[in-house]
Amino acid sequence: MSNDAEISAKKYQNILQTIGNTPLVKINKLAPEGVNLYAKIEAFNPMGSVKDRLALAVIEAAEKSGALQPGQTVVEATSGNTGIGLAMVCAQKGYPLVVTMAESFSVERRKMMRFLGAKVVLTPAAEKGSGMLKKAVELAETHDWFLCRQFENEANADMHSRTTAPEILACFTDENLDYWVSGYGTGGTLKGVARVLREKSPQTKVIACEPESAALLSSHIPQEAGESESTYKSHGSFSPHPMQGWTPDFISQLTQDAVASELVDEVLTIPGPEALRLSRQLAVEEGIFVGISAGATLAGALKIAESAAPGTNIVCMLPDTGERYLSTPLFGDIAAEMDDDEQALAASTPSAQLGA
Ligand SMILES: Cc1ncc(COP(=O)(O)O)c(C=O)c1O
């Protein structure tokens, strides 16, 4: 907050009321001159990711429909952020939560969920996203638990239509929004925001990004259904990528819906190293501390910005906080010990020297 900022502090009755209304922040140094590139920073949600929206939406829709009964256990397959959001919502509302998660996702994600009181069941990395999903379905059927089904649940996309999209449009009341750029995991953000943009801001081009090594949409190979409801066959175009939360090894129902309804104007593929590089650049040059998929989305937005006319307005989604990646390649070259420069600085004045 700068000195001349308006005070807009609010009192909330519980943590769940703080979900959403995330800020749109201009990218100043990384964007080409003359192009207005804004980032919607979902790290401002209470548990630090866009998935807090989905978690609240899915639980409240299930409470309303009666699919979730008081005290019933909630179960979901998640690469982490949904689980963390659900763990917060279930803790606040008093539901036990069990999460299934492939062992390949970052350790801090598991620990956070357990810290919030959830149980985390790890599944083999080799069985990928579709394996952890199958496990969650089995557990729900066996124990009569409520399965969130984030990849198909309309409450996921509806939440983005009710909150994320109007929040973006509220920032463009007197000028055009030319491009909106997002990745996809469940596709909730993509379907929910894009359909509102189509209706209320038809000039806005919707750009979906996916990993270069998992270019599922770009392959135009249709997704095959799995053996049972809410499961999928592993897509042949998938190979592992560093953008946790983006593109599982299948095209979810919500993502398929967005594509089938022609809500996506263009699909861009993003190389993993580019995602890591731009996540770091956001931190170092803009002071914006976000995760790998955020760097990837920015890469897509910069591709658009490169050839955009001066005055073009672009919004990209930055899905989560960088703190979730301390044990991942994002922090691979960040040392815990002092480097030569730091040692020289330490030696440049007499007091408080290590090993003195
Ligand atoms: C870090 C991260 N980025 C992007 C996404 C994609 O969001 P959505 O599930 O709405 O497609 C997710 C969620 O899966 C995520 O956790």
What are the tens digits of pLDDT across the range 233-244?
A: 889 999 999 999
272 vs 225, higher pLDDT: 272
Q: Are 172 and 207 in contact (CB under 8 A)?
A: no
How much is the average pLDDT of 24-43? 98
Percentage of residues in the chain with pLDDT exceeding 90? 87
Share of the chain above pLDDT 70, in %: 98
Rg from Cα positions in the chain: 21
- Is residue 356 very low, low, confident or very high in pLDDT (cuts 50, 70, 90)? low
Q: How far is the CA of 158 from the centre of ligand 1 (A)?
A: 15
Q: How far apart are CA 122 and CA 124, in angstroms?
A: 7
**CB distance 189 to ligand 1 below 6 Å:** yes
**Average pLDDT over every residue of 21-41:** 98
Which of 279, 293, 317 has most ligand 1 atoms within 8 Å of CB, for mutation? 293
Query: Do the two domains 15-45+164-331 and 51-147 of this chain adopt the same fold?
Result: yes
- Higher pLDDT residue, 28 or 3? 28
Catalytic residue among 40, 49, 51, 134: 51
Concatenate the DSSP letters of all residues of 44-110 into one string.
Answer: GSTTSBTHHHHHHHHHHHHHHHTSS-TTPPEEEE-SSHHHHHHHHHHHHHT--EEEEEETTS-HHHH
pTM (two decimals): 0.95
Mean pLDDT, the chain, integer: 95
Q: Whose CA is nearest to atom 12 of ligand 1?
A: 245
CA–centroid distance, residue 138 to ligand 1 (Å): 24
Judge if the beta carbon of residue 322 lies within 6 A of ligand 1. Answer: no
Whether residue 51 lies in the annotated active site: yes
Mean pLDDT over 131-156 rounds to 95
Q: Coil, strand or helix: which one is 259? A: helix
Mean pLDDT across 327-347: 95
Question: What pLDDT score was predicted for residue 2?
Answer: 64
> Is there a catalytic annotation at residue 234?
no
Tell me what the mean pLDDT of segment 98-119 comes to: 91
126 vs 281 pLDDT, higher one: 281
Ligand 1 pocket: which of 40, 52, 53, 81 to mutate (most atoms <8 Å of CB)?
A: 81
pLDDT of 173 > 80? The answer is yes
Q: Which residues lie closer than 8 Å to 50 by C-beta, 6 or more apart?
A: 42, 81, 164, 189, 317, 319, 320
Catalytic residue among 79, 252, 279, 293: 293
Q: Is the pLDDT of residue 187 over 80?
A: yes
Closest approach atom of ligand 1 to CA 188 = 10
Task: Mean pLDDT check: name the lowest of 28-32, 159-163, 248-252.
Answer: 248-252
Q: CB neighbours (10 Å) of residue 163? A: 19
Would you call 205 exposed, middle or buried from its count of C-beta atoms within 10 A (0-12, 13-18, 19+)? middle
- What distance in Å separates the CA atoms of residue 89 and residue 14, rounded to the nearest whole number? 10
Measured in Å, residue 197 CA sits from the centre of ligand 1 at: 19
pLDDT, mean of residues 143-156? 97
Q: What is the DSSP string of 111-143?
A: HHHHHTT-EEEEE-GGGHHHHHHHHHHHHHHHH
At residue 4 the predicted structure's pLDDT band, cuts being 50, 70 and 90, is low
Q: What is the pLDDT of residue 350?
A: 95
Quickly name the fold that domain 51-147 has.
Answer: Rossmann fold (3.40.50)
Tell me how far the alpha carbon of residue 319 lies from the centroid of ligand 1, in angstroms: 6
Domain range list for the chain: 15-45+164-331, 51-147
pLDDT in tens, 151-160: 999 999 999 9
Class level of CATH domain 15-45+164-331 = alpha beta
User: Of 230 and 191, which is predicted with more confidence?
Assistant: 191
What pLDDT band is residue 13 in, cutting at 50, 70 and 90? very high
Residue 129 has pLDDT above 90, yes or no: no
